[in-house]
C-alpha cells in the first residue's frame, strides 16, 4: 500500500476490495506516528473518530451502497475550521480548550463525501503569519528539511499533505496562506475566488480577504476536492450563488493558444535566482505545449504589501474584539471587569496577534481612518482593476509563488518586515478577490521546492486547473517524495 496514493487510486483500491478503509486509515496513523515527531504537523488527532467512520464506510461498501466520492481519503483540516466534537484552537491559547458543537460548511461537505479527518493541523495563531512559527503550541517542520519552515499560515496542512500523513487537506488563505506553504512544501494549493467556497465555521481573521481552499499533491486531486467544497451556502452571506462547474472536465491538457501574462513586477529584485530560473523554465515548457507568453505590467503591485498590512490588521482588530473573556475562550479572572478583559487578552494572544491588533486599531482610530484604512482600500480597488483589466487580454497571469525557498526556523522571526515580504507574490490575489493556484515547478540545488503561481479571472478556477494540469502532466516534479519520509511507506 502506497501512503502517497491519490484519490483515484484510493477509491479504486477500496471498490476492488484490495484494501479496506480501516486498513488504509490504520496504515496512515502508523505513518503519522513515524513522521509526526519530526514535523509536528498536527495539534489534535482524530484516531477514534476516523476509525469509526472507516468501519461505517466499509460496511456501506459491503452492502453495495455508494460510499461517496472521497470515501476513505485521509484529510488534514486546518485548526481554524470548526469540527464538531474535535478541538479547534486556531493555534491560540485563547481557544485552547474550545470544542465546537457544529461543523464548518467545508467539513460537512468532507464528511458527506466519505473523507476521513486524520486531525487538525498546526498553523500561525489566528492565521497571522507566513511560517507557522507563531503557533502557541510549537513550530512545524518542512517535509523536505525539518529544520526549515513549511510556510504559513497553513503550514501544518501543507506539511501533512507533503509528507503523506494525509492525501488531501484544507487551508485558509488571507494573503497567501494556502499557496505560499504549498510552494514551500512542494504541493498544490488553490485559493478560490472570494465567495466561491463558504466560510461558515471558519474562525475569522480578515473577512474581506479570507478564503477556504484545497491543498493536495496533484492538480487532479485539487480539482476533485474543490468540486466537493465549492457551492452556495445560505449561512455565509458572502457566498455567491453560482453553478459549480465540473472541474475534472477542465483537465483536458489542451492549452494551445493559451495566453499567459508575465508581469515584470514579480521578477527581478527580491526574487531568489533559483526561483526565478525555475519559474521561467516552467513557463517555457508551457510555451512548448502551445501557450503564448505576453509581457504585462501590474502597475500597482509595489503598493500591495502596504495596503494589505493596513486592511488585514484593521479587520483582525475588529474580528478579534470578541475574545474578551466574557463570551467564550480563555478567561483570566479579576474583580474588575476591565482588568479581567485586559489580562485575558494579554495572556491569550501571542506577540504577532497583538502586533496586528495594535496596527489595525491604530489604522481605524479617529483622525487616521481615512489617511490609512481608507487610502489602503482605494489602493485595493486599483490593484483589483489592474488584474481584472489585464485578464481581459490574457487568460492567466503567471508569477513565482514565494520569492524565496523555505528558510530556517528562526531566520526571520526577529524581523517582522522580512517575514511579511514572504507573501509579496501572493497578496494581490486576495486584495483582488480572484482565484490563484500554486504548484511545484522545481527544486533548488539544496533540494527545496519552488512554486509556480497562476492567477485567473473571477470564478474561472477551471482555467487555472487546466493550465496547472497541463504543466503537471509534462513534468514529474509532483512524483518526487521528501527524503525524510519517503522511506516510511508501510
Q: With contact defined as beta carbons under 8 Å apart, do 432 and 381 qualify? A: no
For residue 33, how many other CB atoms are within 10 A of its CB?
12
What is the grid cell recorded at 147? 529544520
DSSP 136-172: TT----BTTBTTB---SSSHHHHHHHHTTS-SEEEEE
Strand, coil or helix: 39? helix
Could you tell me if 449 and 441 are in contact, meaning their C-beta atoms sit under 8 angstroms apart? no
CB 396 within 8 A of CB 258: yes
SS3 72: coil
Let me know if 78 is a catalytic residue.
Answer: yes
Q: Tell me the backbone φ, ψ of residue 120, rounded to 5 degrees.
A: -105, 135
Burial classification of residue 345, based on how many CB atoms lie within 10 Å of its CB (0-12 exposed, 13-18 middle, 19 or more buried): buried
Write down the catalytic residue from 44, 163, 177, 317.
Answer: 177
Helix (H) or strand (E) holding 382: helix 375-390
Active-site option among 5, 41, 78, 135: 78
Active site residue 153: yes
CB 192 within 8 A of CB 461: yes
Rounded to whole angstroms, the Cα distance separating 403 from 271 reads: 5
Helix 375-390 crosses helix 304-319 at what angle (to 10 degrees)? 120
Residue 162's Cβ-count burial label (10 Å; 0-12, 13-18, 19+) is: buried
The residues facing 453 across adjacent strands are: 399, 438
Distance of CA 451 to the CA centre of its chain: 13
Taking CA atoms, 453 is separated from 192, 309, 366, 477, in Å, by 13, 21, 39, 15
Cα angle value 16/22/28 (rounded, 5°): 105
Of 5, 44, 131, 153, which one is the catalytic site residue?
Answer: 153
Decide: 309 and 380 in contact? Cβ < 8 Å. Answer: no
For residue 42, the SS3 value is strand
> Which residues are tagged catalytic?
78, 153, 177
Amino acid at each position: 500500500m502506497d501512503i502517497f496514493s491519490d484519490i483515484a487510486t484510493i477509491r479504486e483500491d477500496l471498490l476492488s476490495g484490495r484494501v479496506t478503509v480501516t486498513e488504509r486509515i490504520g496504515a496512515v496513523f502508523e505513518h503519522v506516528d513515524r513522521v509526526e515527531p519530526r514535523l509536528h504537523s498536527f495539534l489534535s488527532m482524530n484516531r477514534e473518530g476516523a476509525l469509526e467512520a472507516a468501519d461505517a464506510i466499509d460496511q456501506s461498501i459491503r452492502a453495495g451502497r455508494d460510499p461517496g466520492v472521497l470515501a476513505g481519503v485521509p484529510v488534514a483540516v486546518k485548526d481554524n475550521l470548526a469540527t464538531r466534537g474535535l478541538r479547534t484552537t486556531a493555534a491560540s491559547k485563547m481557544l485552547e480548550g474550545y470544542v465546537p458543537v457544529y461543523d464548518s460548511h467545508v467539513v460537512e461537505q468532507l464528511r458527506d463525501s466519505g473523507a476521513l479527518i486524520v486531525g487538525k493541523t498546526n498553523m500561525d495563531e489566528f492565521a497571522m503569519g507566513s511560517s507557522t512559527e507563531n503557533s502557541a503550541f510549537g513550530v512545524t517542520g518542512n517535509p523536505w528539511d525539518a529544520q526549515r519552515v513549511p510556510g504559513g499560515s497553513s503550514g501544518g496542512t501543507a506539511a501533512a499533505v507533503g509528507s503523506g500523513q494525509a492525501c488531501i487537506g484544507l487551508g485558509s488563505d488571507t494573503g497567501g496562506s494556502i499557496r505560499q506553504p504549498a510552494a514551500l512544501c512542494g504541493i498544490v494549493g488553490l485559493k478560490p475566488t472570494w465567495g466561491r467556497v463558504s466560510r461558515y465555521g471558519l474562525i475569522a481573521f480578515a473577512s474581506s480577504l479570507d478564503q477556504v481552499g484545497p491543498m493536495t499533491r496533484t492538480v487532479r486531486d485539487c480539482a476533485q476536492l474543490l468540486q466537493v467544497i465549492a457551492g452556495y451556502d445560505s449561512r455565509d452571506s458572502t457566498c455567491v450563488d453560482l453553478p459549480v462547474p465540473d472541474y475534472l472536465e477542465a483537465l483536458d491538457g489542451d492549452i494551445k493558444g493559451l495566453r499567459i501574462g508575465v508581469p515584470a513586477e514579480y521578477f527581478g529584485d527580491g526574487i531568489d535566482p533559483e526561483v526565478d530560473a525555475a519559474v521561467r523554465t516552467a513557463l517555457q515548457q508551457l510555451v512548448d505545449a502551445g501557450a503564448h507568453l505576453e509581457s504585462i505590467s501590474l502597475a500597482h503591485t509595489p503598493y500591495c504589501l502596504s495596503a494589505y498590512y493596513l486592511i488585514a490588521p484593521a479587520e483582525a482588530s475588529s474580528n478579534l474584539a470578541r475574545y474578551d473573556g466574557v463570551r467564550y475562550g480563555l478567561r483570566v479572572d479579576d474583580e474588575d471587569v476591565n482588568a479581567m478583559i485586559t489580562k485575558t487578552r494579554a495572556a491569550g494572544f501571542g506577540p504577532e496577534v497583538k502586533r496586528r491588533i495594535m496596527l489595525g486599531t491604530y489604522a481605524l482610530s479617529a483622525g487616521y481612518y481615512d489617511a490609512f484604512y481608507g487610502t489602503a482600500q482605494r489602493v485595493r480597488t486599483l490593484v483589483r482593476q489592474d488584474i481584472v483589466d489585464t485578464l481581459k487580454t490574457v487568460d492567466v497571469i503567471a508569477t513565482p509563488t514565494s520569492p524565496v525557498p523555505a528558510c530556517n526556523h528562526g531566520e526571520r522571526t526577529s524581523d517582522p518586515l522580512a517575514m511579511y515580504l514572504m507573501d509579496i507574490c501572493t497578496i494581490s490575489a486576495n486584495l483582488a478577490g480572484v482565484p490563484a493556484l500554486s504548484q511545484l515547478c522545481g527544486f533548488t540545488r539544496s533540494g527545496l521546492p519552488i512554486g509556480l503561481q497562476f492567477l485567473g479571472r473571477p470564478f474561472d478556477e477551471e482555467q487555472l486547473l487546466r493550465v496547472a494540469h497541463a504543466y503537471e502532466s509534462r513534468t514529474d516534479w509532483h512524483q518526487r517524495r521528501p527524503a525524510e519520509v519517503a522511506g516510511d511507506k508501510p
